[in-house]
């Protein structure tokens, strides 16, 4: 058992503090030979990368690129300065029947499950646009920089205003050097009568992707959260395939989070529920990824599938790739087991064409 604060991201410090302090990663004198890979028209050293979240800025991107992660996702950016939620932001949890329960100590690296209540913070566009350029300059050969973007509805704004904002942020990201733009759709739909994510509002999600896809000249991928049924997953992917080069899933599983006494674990309005990520999510996430792979194999559409969700062991990463995923992206493992990429290369079973 290890204290949760031993991760690369200091959970006892603010998001702003972590942004300002480059990660202290283990030194790797020589990386093992890479298996190779390809994503869209890009050749890769390997199909392993870091999902949106951990890589807060160019210094984080550079640090992880050096230790063998070859798809680097720059943390989600927005059209204005947005601060993070107050501490705490990340807590180790145990998933129980009625809720996720925060614990004082966490399991070993491959058995770590977290609740994340951070919001989606972003620096000002003038700051992150310059920093994305630096990030692109710092990645190596056969590595790809993906930038995650999220639209913001201005006060009194309508759906068209949100769509326009997504488009503007995507253009800025592409101009700054993004090789791929990830459109974050696993975010609350501000116009829904009942709580739902944007990807669950098909007309709105399609409008956003259409705007982004017709505004930038790089591949665009749609990021999804969990689906309630396989049919909804199929219908969403089929509808949105016209405007996306690929899909990223599963973002996380939204659950109520409490402490051992049953009190809300994250204080503040709108924080009763949080994204659950890490080891415990793998069975459900891999099932949804498998469903998406099956629909693709059946010929419904031909789009890249970037797998996320509970991939906290090297064995799970290889298993997911053998099932047909084009890439695997890790987040929890990247923060608490940074040499994951080294072992992934050491234990590869088959080369990826």
Q: Look at residue 4 in the predicted model and tell me its pLDDT.
A: 46
What is the number of H-type helices and E-type strands within the chain?
A: 10, 17
Helix (H, G, I), strand (E, B) or coil at 131: helix
Whether the CA torsion 26, 353, 324, 196 is positive or negative: it is positive
212 close to 232: Cβ distance less than 8 angstroms: no
The tens place of each residue's pLDDT in the chain, 353 residues long, gives 334 446 799 999 999 999 999 999 998 999 999 999 999 999 999 999 999 999 999 999 999 999 999 999 999 999 999 999 999 999 999 999 899 999 876 566 568 999 999 999 999 999 999 999 999 999 999 999 999 999 999 999 999 999 999 999 999 999 999 999 999 999 999 999 899 999 999 999 999 999 999 999 999 999 999 999 999 999 999 999 999 999 999 999 999 999 999 999 999 999 999 999 999 999 999 999 999 999 999 998 999 999 999 999 999 999 999 999 999 999 999 999 999 999 999 986 443 33
Phi-psi region of 200 (alpha: psi -120 to 50; beta: other; left: phi over 0): alpha
Helix (H, G, I), strand (E, B) or coil at 94: strand
Integer Cα distance of 322 and 317 in angstroms: 9
E-state strands within 11-99: 37-39, 42-44, 48-55, 71-77, 90-95
Q: To which residue do tokens 């050749």 refer?
A: 43
Q: Which are the contacts of 112, defined by CB distance < 8 A and separation ≥ 6?
A: 92, 106, 278, 279, 312, 332, 336
Integer Cα distance of 237 and 288 in angstroms: 12
Q: Look at residue 87 in the predicted model and tell me its pLDDT.
A: 96
For 11, phi and psi rounded to 5 degrees? -75, -15
Find out whether the peptide bond into 16 is cis, omega within 30 degrees of 0: no
CATH of 2-346, one of 3.20.20.70, 3.20.20.10, 3.30.70.270, 3.30.360.10: 3.20.20.70
* Residue 76 CB neighbours (<10 A): 21
For 136, phi and psi rounded to 5 degrees? -65, -35
Integer Cα distance of 258 and 208 in angstroms: 34
Integer Cα distance of 345 and 133 in angstroms: 28
Instruction: Kindly state the tokens that stand for 178.
Output: 């993004």
Q: Which are the contacts of 2, defined by CB distance < 8 A and separation ≥ 6?
A: 105, 106, 107, 108
Domain ranges of the chain: 2-346
């Amino acid at each position: 058992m290890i204290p949760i604060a031993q991760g690369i991201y200091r959970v006892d410090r603010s998001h702003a503090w972590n942004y300002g302090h480059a990660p202290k990663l283990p030194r790797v004198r020589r990386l093992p030979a890479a298996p190779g890979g390809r994503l869209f028209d890009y050749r890769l050293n390997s199909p392993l990368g870091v999902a949106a979240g951990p890589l807060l800025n160019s210094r984080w991107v550079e640090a992880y690129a050096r230790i063998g992660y070859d798809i680097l996702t720059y943390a989600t950016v927005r059209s204005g300065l947005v601060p993070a939620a107050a501490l705490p932001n990340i807590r180790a949890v145990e998933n129980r029947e009625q809720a996720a329960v925060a614990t004082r100590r966490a399991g070993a690296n491959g058995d770590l499950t977290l609740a994340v209540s951070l919001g989606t913070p972003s620096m000002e566009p003038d700051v992150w646009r310059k920093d994305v350029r630096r990030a692109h300059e710092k990645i190596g050969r056969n590595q790809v920089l993906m930038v995650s973007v999220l639209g913001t509805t201005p006060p009194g704004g309508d759906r068209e205003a949100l769509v326009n904002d997504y488009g503007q942020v995507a253009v800025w990201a592409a101009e700054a050097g993004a090789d791929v733009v990830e459109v974050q759709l696993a975010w609350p739909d501000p116009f829904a009568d009942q709580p739902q994510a944007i990807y669950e509002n098909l007309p709105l999600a399609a409008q956003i992707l259409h705007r982004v896809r017709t505004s930038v000249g790089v591949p665009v991928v749609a990021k999804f959260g969990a689906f309630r049924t396989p049919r909804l997953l199929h219908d969403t992917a089929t509808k949105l395939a016209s405007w996306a080069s690929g899909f990223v899933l599963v973002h996380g599983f939204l659950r109520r989070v409490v402490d051992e006494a049953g009190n809300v674990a994250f204080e503040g309005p709108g924080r009763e529920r949080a994204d659950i990520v890490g080891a415990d999510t793998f069975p459900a996430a891999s099932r949804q990824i498998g469903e998406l792979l099956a629909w693709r194999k059946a010929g419904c559409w031909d789009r890249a599938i970037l797998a996320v969700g509970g991939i906290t062991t090297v064995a799970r990463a290889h298993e997911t790739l053998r099932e047909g995923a084009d890439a695997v992206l890790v987040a929890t493992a990247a923060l608490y087991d940074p040499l994951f990429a080294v072992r992934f290369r050491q234990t590869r079973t088959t080369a990826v064409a």
